[in-house]
Amino acid sequence: MSITSEATITRRPAEAAARWFDICSYADLIPERGACAMLDGTQVAVFRAFDGTLYALSNLDPFSGAYVLSRGILGTRDGVPTVASPMYKQVFDLRTGVCLDDPRVAVPVFPVRRADGDRVEVALTDDRRQ
């Protein structure tokens, strides 16, 4: 007697295609300061932390409706890298985009990388565009 079992195949949803955009030279990003880049109609705030880590998130402050997060103040809260909005001072986690003052609110974050040693690139994916 032979028993035949049917294998269950689990398929992951197709990952959104990322389109990488060249932003600037790594050296052009001043540590602890932000820069704004317009990527296919999306404003992205790009930051270079003091330790050299790169972050990218939406430039739109959801509390004021102004595109100002690139002008925010970088810092940390309980070891979490943050940016404080220059408008009403809400603080956002640079890694996740979650507002630490109101966790129900978050801004989109974008993949960011250092390419070819000196170039900073940010990716937009179909599910991350706003």
- CATH number for the domain harbouring residue 92: 2.102.10.10
> pLDDT truncated to tens, each residue of the chain (130 aa)?
343 333 333 333 445 689 999 999 999 999 999 999 999 999 999 999 999 999 999 999 999 999 999 999 999 999 999 999 999 999 999 999 999 999 999 999 999 999 988 999 999 987 644 4
In a domain, 112, yes or no: yes
- Helices (H) and strands (E) in the chain — how many of each? 0, 9
**Model pLDDT, residue 12:** 38
Q: Residue 49's closest CA among 31, 67, 37?
A: 31
**Model pLDDT, residue 115:** 95
**Model pLDDT, residue 16:** 65
**Model pLDDT, residue 15:** 53
**Model pLDDT, residue 17:** 83
Query: The pTM is what?
Result: 0.84
In a domain, 109, yes or no: yes
Domain that residue 37 falls in: 18-125
In a domain, 79, yes or no: yes
**Model pLDDT, residue 106:** 98
In a domain, 8, yes or no: no
Residue 6 in tokens: 């049917």
**Model pLDDT, residue 117:** 85
**Model pLDDT, residue 126:** 73
Cβ neighbours for 34, distance < 8 A, ≥ 6 positions apart: 45, 46, 47, 69, 70, 71, 72, 74, 83
DSSP per-residue codes, 27-76: GGS-TTEEEEEEETTEEEEEEE-TTS-EEEEESB-TTT--B-GGGSEEEE
Q: Name the domain count of the chain.
A: 1
